[in-house]
Amino acid sequence: MREIETDLLIIGAGPSGLYATYYAGFRGLRVALVDSLPELGGQVTAMYPEKMIFDVAGFPAIKGRDLVAGLVEQAASAHPEYFLDRTATGLSHDEDSVTITLDDGTSVRAGAAIITAGIGKFSPRPLPAGDGWVGRGMEFFVPSFAPYAGKDVVIVGGGDSAFDWALHLEPVARSVTLVHRRDAFRAHQRTVDQVLSSSVEVVTKAQVTALLDNGSGNGVVEEVEITVDGAEPIRRPAQAVVAALGFVADLGPLQQWGIEVQKRHIVVDASMRTNLRRVFAAGDVTEYPGKVRLIAVGFGEAATAVNNAAVAIDPTAHVFPGHSSEGT
């Protein structure tokens, strides 16, 4: 077992976690950051790195991957110790610290911990017809548009991700077909209208019932079968299928720590404290009256959590450290 000591441990490397990492360095704290994903950036990196984000202060529009790149560069000033592709599994307390154990046996002892786990650990909802096709032409996320250039792409789903990807792939792919089992969509209406007025073929009240390689023997998808309610199945060429059916998310082992949870979110007070001593939370994972789940809100919560954690770590410290512009 590897044992690590630090001032502050942050669980979750999405935007809020990365900003909390920077702010911990600004407060002069040693900081470690753990995430179950192999890359920094959390849900932004895993699900929509190419998507434009419009509600981050100071940026009229910024691509997801560019936002993450800036946050990673900013966090680097804290010289953090990263534990990626690791899951926080256990928690214990003593008089002046909290100890988090990871699934690889690593033990991290810290003066305080901040949970910035976003939606928690998430798994994509499966496409029944896609069983066995993952990595053979079918994927659940679109981290880059370039691999889809010149291909016939079929997207399954009716939510924001499905419509965002359809809109962005339309000028890149040879053709894009969006298949949804209902004739109503969960996506933002503006994006729906943009897709409906584009060259994307939208097939509703339908399901993809088979992925086919046409017996070519190359083992990758070449065609899909689409079954529309009350009609004979139709076929469309497809060298790529994106199953954008949403995902199942949960807090995993964190729920066994005795932390107060409300509808899969961690309850905090105005200081971002949880009901557990020396454990704080920030970002989308938190719940309190009037909570708004935006990246911009998560940044403010991260700073609040770090400043209050700093006092828990060192009772002689002040909650407000002064403005960064006042530093040397």
Q: Is 325 annotated as a binding residue?
A: yes
- How does pLDDT run along the chain (328 residues), one tens digit per residue? 789 999 999 999 999 999 999 999 999 999 999 998 888 998 888 777 777 888 899 999 998 889 999 999 999 999 999 999 999 999 998 889 999 999 999 999 999 999 999 877 777 889 999 999 999 999 988 878 899 999 999 999 999 889 989 999 999 999 999 999 999 999 889 999 999 999 999 999 999 999 999 776 678 999 999 999 978 899 999 999 999 998 777 788 888 899 999 988 999 999 999 999 999 999 999 999 999 999 999 999 999 999 999 999 999 999 988 887 775 4
Structural domains in the chain (count):
2
Return d(Cα 212, Cα 237) in angstroms, integer.
9
pLDDT of amino acid 303: 97
Q: Are residues 109 and 254 in the same domain?
A: yes
Question: How is 39-108 classified by DSSP, letter by letter?
Answer: STTHHHHHH-TTSEE--STT-SSEEHHHHHHHHHHHHGGG-PEEEET--EEEEEEETTEEEEEETTS-EE
Q: Which two tokens stand for residue 269?
A: 């007070």
Q: Is 43 annotated as a binding residue?
A: yes
Q: Are residues 253 and 306 in the same domain?
A: yes
Q: Are residues 86 and 144 in the same domain?
A: no
Asked which of 188, 217, 243 is the last residue of a domain, the reply is 243
Contacts of 171 (CB under 8 A, 6+ apart): none
Tell me the sheet residues that pair with 237: 223
Q: Are residues 71 and 136 in the same domain?
A: no
Instruction: Report the Cα–Cα distance between both ends of the chain, in Å, rounded.
Output: 40
pLDDT of amino acid 13: 95
**3-state secondary structure (DSSP) of residue 308:** helix
Q: Is 145 annotated as a binding residue?
A: no
pLDDT of amino acid 207: 95
Q: Is 255 annotated as a binding residue?
A: no
Q: Is 88 annotated as a binding residue?
A: yes
Choose among 88, 99, 85, 76: nearest CA to 11: 88
pLDDT of amino acid 328: 47
pLDDT of amino acid 32: 98
Tell me the sheet residues that pair with 93: 98
Asked which of 191, 215, 243 is the last residue of a domain, the reply is 243
Question: How is 183-239 classified by DSSP, letter by letter?
Answer: SS--S-HHHHHHHHTSS-EEE-SEEEEEEE-TT-SS-S--EEEEEETTS--EEEE-S
CB burial class (10 A; 0-12, 13-18, 19+) of residue 190?
Answer: exposed
Q: Are residues 114 and 62 in the same domain?
A: yes
Asked which of 195, 217, 243 is the last residue of a domain, the reply is 243
Domain that holds residue 44: 3-122+247-326
Q: Are residues 116 and 139 in the same domain?
A: no
Q: Is 144 annotated as a binding residue?
A: no
Q: Is 48 annotated as a binding residue?
A: yes
Give the global pTM.
0.78
* CA dihedral sign of residues 196, 202, 206, 208: negative
**3-state secondary structure (DSSP) of residue 316:** coil
Q: Are residues 225 and 254 in the same domain?
A: no
Q: Are residues 189 and 212 in the same domain?
A: yes
Q: Are residues 9 and 40 in the same domain?
A: yes
Which value, to the nearest 10 degrees, does the dihedral of the CA atoms of residues 147, 149, 154, 158 take?
A: 80
Q: Are residues 99 and 68 in the same domain?
A: yes
